[in-house]
Structure 1
Amino acid sequence: MNDFSDFNTRDIVKAYASGETSPSEYMDWLINRVEKVEPKVCALYVFKPDQAKQQAAESTKRWFKKQTIGPLDGVPVTVKELIATKGDATPLGTAASDKTPATEDAPTAARLKEDGAIIFAKTTCPDYGMLSSGLSTFHHLSRNPWDLSQNPGGSSAGAAAAGAAGFGTLHIGTDIGGSVRLPAGWTGLFGFKPTLGRIPIYPYYTGRSAGPMTKTVDDAIMVMPTIAKPDWRDATALEYQALEWNVPPADVRGMKIGLMLDAGCGITAEPEVKTAVLNAAKTFAAQGAEIIEINPVLKRQWLDGLDVFWRARFWGTMLELSPAKRQSILPYIYEWAKDAENANPLDVVKGFDATLAMRDACGAAFHNLDAIISPVNPNVSYPADWASPTNDPQKPFEHIAFTLPWNMGEQPAASINCGFSSSGMPIGLQIIAPRFEDLKVIALSKAYELWRGPITNWPAL
C-alpha cells in the first residue's frame, strides 16, 4: 500500500486525475491509518469505514469515466459533531442530549457532499461545545497527538486531534470564541475563521462560524470554495461571492501591521509564546512591513459580562431537561451554568451588550492598520483531562481573550504555527484582517507559511 502521509488535498486530486491513485486506494490507506492511531487520540465520532469504502468505490468509477461531480470528488473529510449530518445523531458532546438522528445535513455537510467529498467520520467536542478541551460525557477523551498527555484544545477538539494525527487533509470545525483557532494553535494546524456569514452555518448564533482546520494553508484554500457556497437557512449569511481563494502570498512591503501582545485580560501570554510571536513579527518586518505595537481590544468587564450572558443562556437550556438528564451533564459545565440561577436580569442584558462593545472596539482597532497579529493561545499546553487551561469553572474564559473579540467583531482571523515550545508543543500566531478581507488573511498566512517553511515533524504515532 502506498504511503500518502505527505499528500495535501491538491496532491490527492491531481493523483486521482492522473490515475496515479484512486479514491479507493487512498481511502484504504486512510482507514488503515485511522484504525492504527484512533485508539490513541480518540478524535472521531461515527467513523463509518465500510460506507466510506463504498463511496470511494463510486468516486473511483466516476474518475475513471471522467464524470466527477465536483472539485472534491472522493476526497475524505471530517466535520465536527455539532455540524449535523443526515442520519446521524448530533449529541452536542453531552450524555444529556437527545440522540435522534438528524433529518437533514447542515449547510457545511451539504455543500461537501454536493461537491463529492466523503465525510468518513465526524469529530468529537466537549459538552455543548463549551470547553477548550476534549472533555465530554458522551465522547471518549480526545488527546493532543504531539503529546498524548496533553489537551488538543477545543471545542473543535477532535478535529484538531484528527488533523495533527494525519487522518486525511480536511477537517471542519466551528468557532464562537476561538474553537477553530485555539485547538489549531495547540496542535500546529492552520485554522481559519472567516468573516461571520462567509460560510453559511445552521443553527446560527452571535459570532458562530465554521472553518477549516488543516496542515497547510493550501488545504484550506481547496475547501473554501465548497463550504462558502450559499445556503438559505443561514439568516446571517453574507451575499455569496465566488471568491478566488487561491491568492498569491501577500507582498507586505509598506503594510502597517499591529502587534498585540497583551490581550487586556485573561491569562498573560507565557514567555515562550511571546517570543515565538515576536519572532514572527520580526519576520514580517524583515519582509518590509511596519510593525506597530497596539493596545488590547478586550476589557475585563466585557469578558466577565459575556460569561454572565452565556451562563444564563445555557442554564435556560438545562432547565428544559429533566432533573436526571441535568445530572448527566459534565459537572464543570453544570456548575458553571448553575451560577446563573440567581443572575440579575440587568447583568445578563449588559453581558449581551458586551458583544456590541467588542464589535465597536474591534472595528476601531483597524483604523490606519492593514492587519493585526497576536498570540492565539496564551499558554503552551495543559493536561488532556482538564476542562480548560485554568480548569476552574469560575474562570472559564481566561484563555480566549486573544480570539473571542474577533468573533464578536466578525473579522476574519487565522491561526498558523509560528514555532514550538521547549517541550515540543506547537505555538500559534493569529492573523486578523478587517471584516470582509478574508483573502488578505489567506494571503498573509500563505506568505508567512512560505517564510517559515513546512512543518516536517508531524506526530508519527
Structure 2
Amino acid sequence: MNALLKLTIRDILDLYQQKKLSPLEYWDAVEKRVADYEPHVQALYLYDPESARAQAKASTERWMKGETLGVLDGIPVTIKELIATKGDPVPLGTAAVELKPAEADAPAAARLREDGAVIFAKTTCPDYGMLSSGLSSFHHLSRNPWDLSQNPGGSSAGAASAGAASFGPLHVGTDIGGSVRLPAGWTGLFGFKPSHGRIPVDPYFVGRCAGPMTRNVEDSAISMATLSRPDWRDGTSLPPNDFDWLDFDIDVKGLKIGLMLDAGIGLPAEDEVQAAVIAAAKKFEVAGAEIIPVGPVMTRGMLDGLDNFWRARFWGDIATMPEERKALILPYIFEWAKGGEFVSGVDAVKGFNQTIEMRKACGKLFTTVDAVLSPTNPIVSYPADWASPTNDPAKPFEHIGFTVPWNMSEQPAASINCGFSASGMPIGLQIVGPRYGDLLVLKLSKAFEVWDGGISQWPEPPKG
C-alpha cells in the first residue's frame, strides 16, 4: 500500500499544514488505489476523478494561502448514495427509480462541502437501503475487501467496502437499524451512529441517522465537528454543540458496563463472536470497570411489529408504481414488501408502537448501567451474493437484534473491531451509551482501540 493511504486525518492535515503534502498529491494516491481495487470491490457510484482533482487543486491553493474552509479541507470523502448531492440522481439502490438530479445537497453533503472536503464518489447501497448486503438491482455487487467472496453488509455496503479498501479516510453512511454499524463490523471499520438528530438528515424517518465510517476512532471524531452542525431541514436536529470531539480522556474505573450476549431474538451470536466480545469486555474490567451481564431488550413482538410497520410503509411507497417499474425491484425486496399489502392500518400503527416499547426497554436498562457492550453482528460472515444473512425474505431482520433497538431509543452506538475469526473475517464489538452520550461512546471506543491496538494491516487488491 502507498504509505500515504495509511495516514490518519490528523496526519494528513499536519502534513498539509507543514506544506510537506498537498491535497492534490494525496488525491493522486487515492485515485491510484481506486484504480487498483475498485474493479474488485465495486464500492462506488458516480466516481468522478476529474472533479476530485479539481476540488483537490482548489484545496491545495487554499492551503498555500492559509485560507482553508474547515477542518476537513482537502480530505477525500465518499457519501452514501442515499444522501443527496446537488445535481446527481439518487437511485436509492434500485433500478425501479426514475433518475432525476437532486435539487440540493442533503445536510451531511452540505456540511462536508462547506468545509472543503473532496467529495469524489457516492457509495453503493441495496434497493431502498432495505438490506444488510451489497446486493442491488441498480449497482454492481459490492464485495468485502477482506474476502471478495463475502458480503460487506449494508445497507452502507459501498461505504464499508471503500473504507476497508483504503479509498481515503472518511466514508459517510446512514443507519436505521444498524446500517452503519453492521457493515463496519463485517469489514473491521469503526462505525459511529450518533444520538438521533446529532447529524441532521433529510429526508427524516423514525430511527434514521447518518454517521462516519473510518479506520480508526479519531477520524470519526474529527468528522463529527463538521457533520454535527444543525440543519433546519431536519426537525429533530439537535442544537449547536461546543463539544471537544477529540477529548478522549476517560477513567473507566467504577463505570457499570452491561455485557449483552443474547439479542433476545433472531440469529444467536456465534461462538467466535461471543468469545471476541467477552475478551473485549475483560479489557474494560481489567481497567477497573464493573462488567454486569444483562439480558436482551428486544422481543419477538418488537421485531415482528417493526417488520409489519416497515412493510406497510414501503408498500405504500411503491403500491401505485407502474407494474413495469415494480418488476425492476430486487425480487427479494419486492417479495418482502408485498407482505405490507395485507397489513391493516391498525396493525401498522401497532407495529410502529413497538418502537416505543423498544425505547422504554432501552431506557429501563440504562437505569442500571452506564454503557453496554455487545456483538455488533451475530455471525462472522455470509456470501457476497446473499440479500441478507438469512437470505430469506420471510425472515429479513434476524441479524439486527443487537443494533436496531438503539436507533429507536435514539442512543449513540458504535462498532469497533475486536478481533478476527478463524476464517480471517473481522468481528465487531458494539459500544452503546446513554442518549446524548456521544462523547462517552467515543471515549470508550478510543480507550478500547488503545488497549487492543487496532488493525494495522488492511486488505490489499488481488495481484495479477
TM-score category of the 2 structures, normalised to the smaller one: over 0.9
Give the aligned partner of residue 358 of structure 1: 358
Give the aligned partner of residue 453 of structure 1: 453
For residue 31 of structure 1, give the secondary structure of its aligned residue in structure 2.
Answer: helix
CA contact (8 A) 2:5 2:30 kept: no
For residue 402 of structure 1, give the secondary structure of its aligned residue in structure 2.
Answer: coil
Letter in 1 for 2:221: I
CA contact (8 A) 1:257 1:289 kept: yes
* Structure 2 unpaired stretches of 5+: none
The question of 1:193 aligning with 2:193 is answered yes
Distance 1:446 1:10 in 2: 15
Distance 2:311 2:229 in 1: 33
Distance 1:314 1:2 in 2: 44
CA deviation string 1:140-180 (max 9, x = no partner): 00000000000000000000000000000000000000000
Distance 1:36 1:332 in 2: 32
Give the aligned partner of residue 417 of structure 2: 417
Structure 2 length normalisation: TM-score? 0.98
**Residue correspondence of structure 1 range 98-177 to structure 2 within 5 A:** 98-177=98-177
CA contact (8 A) 1:250 1:446 kept: no
Give the aligned partner of residue 179 of structure 1: 179
- Superposed CA RMSD in Å reads 0.9
For residue 5 of structure 1, give the secondary structure of its aligned residue in structure 2.
Answer: helix
After TM superposition, give the deviation of residue 240 of structure 1 in Å: 1.8
Distance 1:21 1:283 in 2: 38
Letter in 2 for 1:212: P
Give the aligned partner of residue 290 of structure 1: 290
For residue 4 of structure 1, give the secondary structure of its aligned residue in structure 2.
Answer: helix
CA contact (8 A) 1:84 1:106 kept: yes
Letter in 1 for 2:114: E
CA contact (8 A) 2:79 2:172 kept: yes
Distance 1:134 1:39 in 2: 14
Overall identity of the aligned pairs, in %: 64
Distance 1:456 1:243 in 2: 29
Give the aligned partner of residue 88 of structure 1: 88
Distance 1:439 1:155 in 2: 25
CA contact (8 A) 1:265 1:299 kept: yes
For residue 240 of structure 2, give the secondary structure of its aligned residue in structure 1.
Answer: coil
Letter in 1 for 2:124: T
Structure 1 length normalisation: TM-score? 0.99
* Structure 1 unpaired stretches of 5+: none
Give the aligned partner of residue 392 of structure 1: 392
Give the aligned partner of residue 6 of structure 1: 6
For residue 125 of structure 1, give the secondary structure of its aligned residue in structure 2.
Answer: coil
Give the aligned partner of residue 337 of structure 2: 337
The question of 1:219 aligning with 2:239 is answered no
| Number of matched pairs | 461
For residue 83 of structure 2, give the secondary structure of its aligned residue in structure 1.
Answer: coil
After TM superposition, give the deviation of residue 249 of structure 1 in Å: 4.1
After TM superposition, give the deviation of residue 2 of structure 1 in Å: 6.2
CA contact (8 A) 1:43 1:143 kept: yes
Distance 2:351 2:124 in 1: 29
CA contact (8 A) 2:5 2:29 kept: no
Give the aligned partner of residue 313 of structure 1: 313
The question of 1:367 aligning with 2:367 is answered yes
The question of 1:232 aligning with 2:213 is answered no
CA deviation string 1:288-316 (max 9, x = no partner): 01000011000001100100110111111
CA deviation string 1:400-446 (max 9, x = no partner): 00000000000000000000000000000000011011000000000
Give the aligned partner of residue 426 of structure 1: 426
CA deviation string 1:24-61 (max 9, x = no partner): 10111111110110000000001000011011111111
CA contact (8 A) 1:199 1:228 kept: yes
After TM superposition, give the deviation of residue 341 of structure 1 in Å: 1.4
Give the aligned partner of residue 280 of structure 1: 280
CA deviation string 1:265-306 (max 9, x = no partner): 100000000000000011110110100001100000110010
| 340-349 or 108-117, which deviates more | 340-349
Give the aligned partner of residue 19 of structure 1: 19
After TM superposition, give the deviation of residue 70 of structure 1 in Å: 1.2
For residue 397 of structure 1, give the secondary structure of its aligned residue in structure 2.
Answer: coil
Letter in 1 for 2:195: T
Distance 1:263 1:243 in 2: 32
CA contact (8 A) 2:311 2:338 kept: yes
Distance 2:320 2:21 in 1: 51
Distance 2:55 2:200 in 1: 25
Letter in 2 for 1:23: P
Letter in 1 for 2:402: F
Distance 1:249 1:447 in 2: 9
